[in-house]
Amino acid sequence: MLAAALEANQELARLGAGGEPATREWEIVTQDGRRVPVEVSVRTIYQDGKPAGIQAIARDITERELAEESVRESELRFRQLAENIGEVFYMMDAVSGRMIYINPAYEVVWGRTCQSLYEDPESWLEAILPEDREIALTMLQEARGNKPAEKEYRILQPDGSV
Digit-coded pLDDT (tens) for 98-109:
999 999 999 999
State the average pLDDT over residues 129-156.
86
Does residue 28 carry a pLDDT above 60?
yes
Does residue 53 carry a pLDDT above 90?
no
Torsion angles phi and psi, residue 110, rounded to 5: -90, -15
State the average pLDDT over residues 13-33.
77
Torsion angles phi and psi, residue 107, rounded to 5: -65, -35
Inter-residue contact 111 to 94 (CB < 8 Å): no
Higher pLDDT, 142 or 112: 112
- pLDDT (0 to 100) of residue 17: 58
Q: Cα–Cα distance between 87 and 78 in angstroms, integer?
A: 14
pTM as predicted? 0.58
Task: Give the H or E element holding residue 6.
Answer: helix 2-15
